Chains A and B, each alone.
Chain A
């Protein structure tokens, strides 16, 4: 008797499936893949040498150093905040927890430009605090502290958001066990909690770092765009692009794009390897 094949009850016809896959691929190709390719094509438009020379330029070098410095300060600070906030929220019961979580998530729904504006209004020369700080020789706006603050604002929720669901799921039993066995609080955190959350922590830090190095809107407002001093990589890209120095602009852009690709690669690897230790929305 011949093999009988019929459409399964819970599947779309093969033609529909192919059409939808085609639409998905075409959409992502024009929206996502094309910009990616164009960055490298434009960077290498005049050959490798031109691109590398552009990166060796003094302003480009100082931009790269500044961006690394800013990420180096703001990411660890936000990681520390994320761990503290996740511990406070998941290990204790208190009133107003939902409000606190909403406040931590707030920066995600505030425009980066408005974030920058807030910092300018808080610490700018016109403000009470800012005027005093400038007078005492510690300006915040148009200087490194302002850029760090702006970066921290826009990346504020990343780590906490990653850790909270994971720590809720893991519960408190393991920590309670460690405490009954006589471990100190710090020891309990280091030997019980941290190993359980390390991959989720890494995941959050990865995303936080990518955003920190790439932040443009908030930094554009607070940096003052002083070449060689407060111009980060994205700001320098804007300046070079507006001066029609295409190869130089895209060479720096290519460096940031490589960073983005590495971030995605590591993130995907984490999702495949350590799915059980990430928050449920990242498992697939």
Chain B
């Protein structure tokens, strides 16, 4: 048996050029810088990283980032499914505008979103004042961080689920009804399982985005150590104090979390493709 060749022979032109540009730029812009971070981590080893991370303030920041990101991503999972369903299945005036509005968090710079959300949800802001009436402080608390993370992660679930809903064969829903299933039963046992892989992918993307988010959060967070200080901010603080080793250690922990989530997304897709033949 012969080994599969590294690159199959092809009559297509431009192999050298396209491969050259791709690999050079990928290395220069992405791989070498990430390699520099990993190299830095390797020089002080796992125990060195552990020493930096194993401090109350760092743990608090990592835990806060992850916990609030998880809650925000869960909220976006539910709300994103609802939005996708409404946008695909229902016809109503303003649907196109609503559809376009879903993408705004992708298009709006995070710093702009940050100061806008802070202004609205600060105690003297439009919604902040209302919340204050019932004794709920949003900006400069964990509620504010949650809100900013919901904002940046909003489009992911909707955008991954929408095409799947469009593809659903109406006859499948009808089949469920002719077999005696109520609408709720059909939604729960037929539709939801079909959407699950896409929804999980969107959830993981939304989570990954939230864990690393910086711009939209720092304005509304209040940034009090141990209470409302997120992990990315801690990196920036270490860098401003020229404390490169500590910054690198926290950065590597975050990178590992990102890689774990990337792996999770890929596993979800492989699993769903194996099982039901689509993503």
Are chains A and B touching in the complex at the 8 Å CB cutoff?
Answer: yes
- CB <8 Å contact, B120 and A35: yes
CB atoms of B101 and A28 under 8 A apart:
yes
Residues of A within 8 A of B117 (CB): 35
Contact partner of B11 (CB less than 8 A), chosen from A87, A121, A176, is A176
B190 nearest CB across to chain A (Å) = 11
| Chain B residues closer than 8 Å to A122, beta-carbon distance | 32-33, 35-36
Q: Would you call B7 an interface residue if the criterion is a C-beta within 8 Å of the partner chain's C-beta atoms?
A: yes
Q: Which residues 132-191 of B sit at the A interface, judged by CB distance below 8 A? A: 147, 150-151, 154, 159-160, 162-163, 166, 170, 173-174, 177-178, 183
Report B100-151 residues with CB < 8 Å from chain A CB.
Answer: 100-113, 115-117, 119-120, 125-127, 147, 150-151
A-side binding surface: helix, strand, loop or mixed?
A: helix
Contacts of A80 in B (CB 8 A): 21
Neighbouring A residues of B120 by C-beta, 8 Å: 34-35, 38
Question: What's the Cα separation between A137 and B120 when bound, in Å?
Answer: 46
A35 lies within 8 A of B17 (CB): no
* Contact in complex: B215, A185 (CB < 8 Å): no
Contact B30 A153 (CB under 8 A): yes
**Residue in B115, B236, B239, B262 whose Cβ sees the most chain A Cβ within 10 Å:** B115
In Å, the complex CA distance between A19 and B208 comes to 31
Tell whether, in the assembled complex, residue B33 and residue A115 are in contact, meaning their CB atoms are under 8 Å apart.
yes
* A21 lies within 8 A of chain B by Cβ: yes
Tell me the minimal C-beta distance from B241 to chain A in angstroms.
13
A42: shortest Cβ distance to chain B, in Å? 6
Among A81, A89, A109, the one with the most B-chain Cβ atoms within 10 Å of its Cβ is A109
Interface residue total, chain A, C-beta cutoff 8 A: 105
Is the C-beta of A281 less than 8 angstroms from some C-beta in chain B?
yes
A34 & B127 in contact (Cβ 8 Å cutoff): yes
Residue of B111, B166, B178 near A234 (CB, 8 A) is B111
- 0/1 per residue, A180-208, Cβ < 8 Å to B? 00001110110000000000000000010
A274 at the interface (CB under 8 A from B): no
Report the separation of the CA atoms of residues A44 and B115 in the bound assembly, to the nearest whole angstrom.
15
| Count of interface residues, chain B, beta-carbon cutoff 8 Å | 101
B108 touches A184 (CB 8 A): no
Q: Which of A17, A89, A214 contacts B109 (CB 8 A)?
A: A214
Contact at A109–B258, with CB atoms within 8 Å?
yes
Any A CB within 8 A of the CB of B277: no
Q: Identify A281's interface contact among B6, B86, B159, B213, CB under 8 A.
A: B159
**A35/B154 in contact, CB under 8 A:** no
- Residues of chain B lying within 8 A (CB to CB) of residue A184: 13
Q: Is A64 an interface residue (CB 8 A)?
A: no
Q: How far is the CA of A256 from the CA of B239 in the complex (A)?
A: 27
A-B pairs, 9 with minimum CB distance: A185-B13, A111-B212, A214-B109, A118-B33, A216-B215, A217-B214, A35-B116, A84-B21, A122-B36
Residues of B at under 8 Å CB distance from A?
Answer: 4, 6-8, 10-15, 17-19, 21-22, 25-26, 29-37, 40, 79, 82-83, 85-88, 90, 92, 94, 96, 98-113, 115-117, 119-120, 125-127, 147, 150-151, 154, 159-160, 162-163, 166, 170, 173-174, 177-178, 183, 205, 208, 211-215, 219, 232-233, 235-236, 239, 244, 247-248, 251, 254-255, 258-259, 261-262, 266
If A121-B248, A189-B14, A207-B107 are given as contacts, then 16 extra A-B residue pairs at C-beta distance below 8 Å, sorted by A number, are A9-B177, A11-B183, A38-B120, A81-B26, A93-B8, A94-B6, A102-B266, A111-B212, A113-B236, A113-B251, A117-B239, A149-B29, A149-B33, A172-B12, A214-B112, A234-B215
